[in-house]
Structure 1
Amino acid sequence: MNIVRITFFTLLILVSTSCRPKEKSTQPEMAHQEPIENPETPKLTPSELQQYETAYFASGCFWCVEAIFESVKGVKEVYSGYSGGTEKNPTYEQVSYGKTHHAESVEVYYDPKVVSFTQLVQVFFGSHDPTTLNQQGPDRGAQYRSIAFYKNDEQKKIITDYMAKLEAEHVYGRPIVTEVKKFDKFYRAEDYHQDYEKLHPNNSYIQNVSIPRLNRFKKNFKSFLKEDVH
């Protein structure tokens, strides 16, 4: 596959909205703002999920990242959560305010017969700006840093080889700062964060950041999309 040159990420306009609540007292109101009926099928059961492989990535607000991977064919389920740190059972408040070493991350369940780990890595790098240190769009802090997690040496090589290719072809014009990190533990985020973009389409952050980011990805990766994704 030819590498898509994603220069628009370096021109991303920062908006006033943020994935992080502005103050503690606003978190519940923000997180549960005007939910709609979930139009999708229910989450797969733990036994159903066991038949698929998993991959883990961090690239900014997990509301955005979850929606992007959910649009990819061969991806069966995606969960928002926390990974990359050492603290056990972190909460959204702790992570979003930078009180842990975790980053907002996603857990991707995928069918390797349909989509490969290499392709998921391409999705990861093609859907965010990996050159901004501890920042993605309007979200700033190490909790929004870029991390490609690997579970074995083969996956690590896939990630590092692809990064080297991107660098050699000067795709971004600036050095990639993505961490390549051995996967340890993933903690699922609170229930109200799952499928957040689908359930809160009128949220200002979703309108101004998540949906435009998803649409840019869909425009550049049409061959990766599920048939019902437009």
Structure 2
Amino acid sequence: MKIIKSLLVLSCTILLISCFGFSNKKQGNQQAMYTPQEDTKVAYFASGCFWCVEAIFESVNGVEEAVSGYAGGNTLNPTYEKIGTGRTGHAEAVAVYYNPKKVSFETLVTVFFGSHDPTTVNGQHPDYGTQYRSIAFYKTAEEKQIIENAINKLNKDVYNGKIVTEVKELKRFYKAEEYHQDFEKRNPNQSYVKAVSVPRLNRFKKKFPELLKDTH
């Protein structure tokens, strides 16, 4: 009985500090509507919990907005609950709206690879499953080449050929439920945000201070 209780406590603890451990749809205020500018472009990435990834890209100079969602699979109209099963084929992903005059797609790819471990199969600690896998999406042949060049260089210089990131053509991006948008910003005291998301963001900021927005 003690063993069973210990396992239950451990399971609850993991759930509380996982990206899938929060489903209170009433948490936070409604996100203001974002309207892209005429010359805005969009890039798409998946690298673990989208709460973390969204916050990282929104800290980058030239990024106008980052939207959490789902991409990479074939299931129609995926939801957070369906994604959590790991059987939809989709990953938690982020659509990054950016001004190409201020930040290039190549720099966004640098942000992507520099803010997670691309050698981890199906996950980023503490979140594991196909829905948390690493994917760099492309819409054009040029974007695909930029991603592949980055992988080749990193495999040679840093990761010794161990990168498992998928390079995948974007077929469709599904925006996630409203309560996921700007989650870290709107829920600073949530357990996962404090334990995982904020530390991940701070590690990125320390690594790439030259890419950050001027907050003054």
Q: Provide the TM-score with structure 2 as the length reference.
A: 0.88
Q: Deviations for 1:66-111, whole angstroms, at most 9, x for unmatched residues?
A: 0000000000011000000011111000012213000000000000
Q: Deviations for 1:15-51, whole angstroms, at most 9, x for unmatched residues?
A: 8310013xxxx723xx545x3x68xx94422xx3453
What is the rounded CA distance, in whole Å, between the counterparts of 1:50 and 1:88 in structure 2? 29
Aligned length: 202
Question: Greater Rg, structure 1 or structure 2?
Answer: 2
Specify the SS of the correspondent of 2:43. Answer: strand
| Among 169, 186, 189, the residue aligned to 1:202 | 189
Per the alignment, residue 5 of structure 1 pairs with none
What is the rounded CA distance, in whole Å, between the counterparts of 1:67 and 1:163 in structure 2? 23
Specify the SS of the correspondent of 2:23. Answer: helix
Per the alignment, residue 18 of structure 1 pairs with 18
Cα 1:143/1:89, change in 2 over 3 Å = same
Per the alignment, residue 129 of structure 1 pairs with 117
Q: Which runs of 5+ in 2 are unaligned?
A: 1-12
Q: CA deviation at 1:135?
A: 1.1
What is the rounded CA distance, in whole Å, between the counterparts of 1:219 and 1:172 in structure 2? 21
What is the rounded CA distance, in whole Å, between the counterparts of 1:154 and 1:174 in structure 2? 22
Q: Provide the TM-score with structure 1 as the length reference.
A: 0.83
1:27 maps to amino acid: S
What is the rounded CA distance, in whole Å, between the counterparts of 2:84 and 2:63 in structure 1? 26
What is the rounded CA distance, in whole Å, between the counterparts of 1:188 and 1:160 in structure 2? 26
Per the alignment, residue 220 of structure 1 pairs with 207
The 8 Å contact of residues 20 and 97 in structure 1, kept in 2 or not, is answered as no
List structure 1 runs of 4+ shifted beyond 4 angstroms: none
Per the alignment, residue 4 of structure 2 pairs with none
| Among 27, 35, 60, the residue aligned to 2:48 | 60
Specify the SS of the correspondent of 2:121. Answer: coil
Cα 1:64/1:164, change in 2 over 3 Å = same
Q: CA deviation at 1:200?
A: 0.4
Q: CA deviation at 1:172?
A: 3.6
Per the alignment, residue 128 of structure 2 pairs with 140
The 8 Å contact of residues 60 and 144 in structure 1, kept in 2 or not, is answered as yes
What is the rounded CA distance, in whole Å, between the counterparts of 2:211 and 2:32 in structure 1? 23
| Among 6, 12, 34, the residue aligned to 1:44 | 34
For the pair 1:153 / 2:141, whether they are aligned, the reply is yes
Per the alignment, residue 79 of structure 1 pairs with 67
CA RMSD of aligned residues (A): 1.9
Per the alignment, residue 176 of structure 1 pairs with 163
Specify the SS of the correspondent of 1:130. Answer: coil
Q: CA deviation at 1:202?
A: 0.4
What is the rounded CA distance, in whole Å, between the counterparts of 2:39 and 2:151 in structure 1? 29
Q: Deviations for 1:151-178, whole angstroms, at most 9, x for unmatched residues?
A: 1111111001111111111x24560000
